[in-house]
Amino acid sequence: MQLIIERNIYDTMLRAATAAMPLEACGLCGGKDGHVTRFYEVVNADASDEHFNMRPEDQFAAVKALRSEQLELLAIWHSHPATPARMSAEDLRLAYTPDIVYLIMSIADPATPVLRGFTVAEGRDSPVDIVVPTLSD
């Protein structure tokens, strides 16, 4: 499985992750056919550095915006300010949306951000190939 993320979306995610430091940032990704073209940042209602909880009104507004643009919800994104881009035990426990990619951006090393994607089934994660086209593509 593969998810293509537009370069400007990737840059927006990175800005959101950096701006939220030292807390986790979160958001929803929309698009079509495995191609992410929209990113909606959602307020982390937990204001935590180790987990996130999307503020319901923001989450609802993002889903509504996706529908109005006839896009699918492709991925749920959040940042790991100080830990690697892996699903934590908490992330796995709360990953109950099937057929969606969980994106984690680690900025533990700010000079080398890492974005990884996973699908989760029966409490186990499988990697998803993340492609961010370079500007010359």
Residue 33 or 85: the one with the smaller Cβ distance to Zn ion is 85
Cβ distance 9 to 29 under 8 Å? yes
Distance of closest approach, residue 108 Cβ to Zn ion, in angstroms? 12
Residue 6 or 125: the one with the smaller Cβ distance to Zn ion is 125
Distance of closest approach, residue 91 Cβ to Zn ion, in angstroms? 4
Distance of closest approach, residue 52 Cβ to Zn ion, in angstroms? 7
Render 39-65 in DSSP notation, one character per residue. EEEE-BTT--SS---B-HHHHHHHHHH
Token reading at 27:
């958001």
Distance of closest approach, residue 70 Cβ to Zn ion, in angstroms? 30
Residue 66 or 95: the one with the smaller Cβ distance to Zn ion is 95
* Stretch touching Zn ion by CB under 5 A, among 26-34, 39-47, 86-94, 126-134: 86-94
Distance of closest approach, residue 114 Cβ to Zn ion, in angstroms? 13
User: Exposure pattern of 13-42 as b/e (b: 16+ CB <10 Å)?
Assistant: bbebbeebeebbbbbbbbbeebebbbbbbb
Residue 88 touching Zn ion (CB under 5 A)? yes
In terms of Cα–Cα distance, which of 89, 57, 63 is closest to 76? 63
Q: Which of residues 21-80 bind Zn ion (CB under 5 A)?
A: none
> Which distant-in-sequence residues (6+ apart) come within 8 Å of 124 by Cβ?
92
Binding site for Zn ion (CB under 5 A): 88, 91
